[in-house]
Amino acid sequence: MGVRLNMGYTGMKQNYSFLFQSMSGNSNLNFLSDYMSIKNGSYGKLMKAYYATENTGKTDSSKTEEKTKADQTKLVSVKSQAASLNNSLEDLRSKSLYEPTGTDEKGKNTYDQDKITKSVKDFVDKYNSYVKSSSDVDSVSILKKSVSMIGFTAKNAGMLSKIGITIGENNQLKVNEDKLKNASVHDVSSLFRGSGSYGDSVQNLARQ
């Protein structure tokens, strides 16, 4: 879903810059440069929602009760999906998940790969549900968080790929279970645990 703006480059630059001025980062324009490759329609939804708030006084005030209830239902769904995503990350970021369960015949540490795989797959399911539900709302605040989350995921595509996770259509994550089971526990832990990690960034957005 795209947004067509009948204005020159300067006007477009000013409008985009103003829209994203409240988002975190070193530069509004750098933020846009990083995320303009995301093509799931979130930008179009975000722009639509933003201009809808600007034109509130110009729109039809006879919004139906059914529409209001539908919007509220969508927001409740997004909140529920965000809470589930946060819970899955709590488990995935737990130190105990990565503690050795023993040693092999060569004296190397062994881990509960099945448990780690299950936790990662649960995160992917919850992430996909959140991204899908958030793209269906006309809330600037929620859409900003969704775009930021998709952006963090895109920036960590290389590390995600190392443990068997790839980004598919509509920014839905896919898991190669065989590759995940054989992935380095250190790689999984580094991706999701610790301050400033990918998992930390996504969880902060989910909690908001």
Q: pLDDT (tens digit, 9 = 90+) per residue, 64-116?
A: 677 777 778 888 889 999 999 999 999 999 999 999 999 999 999 999 999 99
pLDDT in tens, the chain (208 residues): 444 444 444 444 444 444 444 444 444 444 544 454 454 555 566 666 655 555 555 455 555 677 777 778 888 889 999 999 999 999 999 999 999 999 999 999 999 999 999 999 999 999 999 999 998 888 888 889 999 999 999 999 999 999 999 999 999 999 999 999 999 999 999 999 999 999 999 999 999 8
Backbone angles phi, psi at 101, to 5 degrees: -105, -5
